[in-house]
Structure 1
Amino acid sequence: MKAQQKSLVLLKNGDKGKSVLPIGRRSKIFLDGLSNEIGINYGEVVTKPDNADFIILNLPVVANGTQDPGSNKIIDKLLSTVLPSSDLNFSPKVISKVSNYSERAALIIIVNLNRPAILSQIDKFSDVLIGSFGVSDEAIFRVLFGDSVPVAKLPFEIPSSMDEVRMQKEDLPDDTNEPSYEFGFGLTY
C-alpha cells in the first residue's frame, strides 16, 4: 500500500496559493470512478454532485476509439479494437463531464497515466490534478485525505498537445517544446 501511495503524482493543488488538499474528514464527497464503500471511511459520500463539497473523478487510461488495422485479417481487426488509438486527448464526452462537474463543486481529478495523456483539456477545469499508475482506491483516498503525503515525481513529461507529440523525436524522451508538466515534476503538501 505504501508504494502505491508514494507513486501518486500531485500535479495541481488549487490556484493562487490556496491549497485544496488534504480534504477534511467530514467533507461531502461525490465519487465518479471510485468505490463508495471505501469512500465512506473518509468523508460523507453523497449521491448528487450538487450536494458535494468535492467531486472526485477517477479517469482511466486514454483509449479513444479504435485504430484502423490497415488489413482485413481477423487478428488485425481484433487487435485494433483492443489497442488504444494514438490520440492522447480525452474524448469530447469526458471533457463535457469534467466541465459540468467543475461548475458544481471543487473538482479533484485523478488520471491514470499508464499511458501519457493530454491533460491541458481537463487541467483548466480541475482544482486538483493527480497522476496515478494503476493504484487502488484506498491509496488514492489516503493521499486525498492526508493519511499519506504525495511525494512522487513524473517519470516522463506530459505533452501539451497532439501537435507537440507529433513534432517530438520518437526515440528521444522528454523533448517536446512546451510540455504541460516536465519530467520530474511533482508537488506535495
Structure 2
Amino acid sequence: MSTTEAQRKIANMLAALKAEAPAIALRMGQTGLTAMKEDSIRDGITVDGSFANYTTNQVYKSSMKKKARNAAGGAYASSGGKGNWGEFRAAQGLKSDHVNLFYTGQMWSALRIIAQSQNGYRYSVLVGASNGDAGRLLIANIERYGNFLKLSDEKKRLIIADAAADVTDIVKRYL
C-alpha cells in the first residue's frame, strides 16, 4: 500500500468516525438510561451505592385513600390507624423493600434523552422528562433522594466497552 493510499484510508476512517460518533454517543446514552430505568424499577433506586428505603414515619392511613391503585390499597387506607408508604405499597402488591419511584409509572415513562451536544470530541446527552408533570416529579425526587440517575461504575464500563467495539468496527473497515 502506498503512502498516499494509506493517508486516504486514514482520512476516510476519521471522516467515518466523525460522522458516526453522534449516533454512538446517543446509543450509549440510551443504553445507560434504559439499564438505569430497568434496574431502578426492578431492584430500587441507589444513591451513592446504597438502596433508598421507604420512610418508617407513620401517617394516618386515611390520608392515602385517594392514592389507592386497587381495592387492597383502598382497604388498607380505610382500615384506620397509622401506617407508612412502604406498608401501603405492600398492601397493594407493589414492591416495598426499596424505593423504586414507580407508582403511576408517569416519571419513568416520560424519562428520555432530551438533548445531545458536542464539544470537540466530547459528546454529551441530557436526560429529562418529556412533560412538565413528570419533570416536576423528577426534580422533586432528585431533591429528596439525590442523583439516583447516576450510572454505576460497572454499567459505565459495559457501555464504554460497547462503544469501543463500535469504534473498533469502524477502524477495521478502513485499515
Q: TM-score range by the shorter chain?
A: under 0.3
TM-score by length of 2: 0.26
Question: Which has the larger Rg?
Answer: 2
Structure in which a larger fraction of residues adopt helix: 2
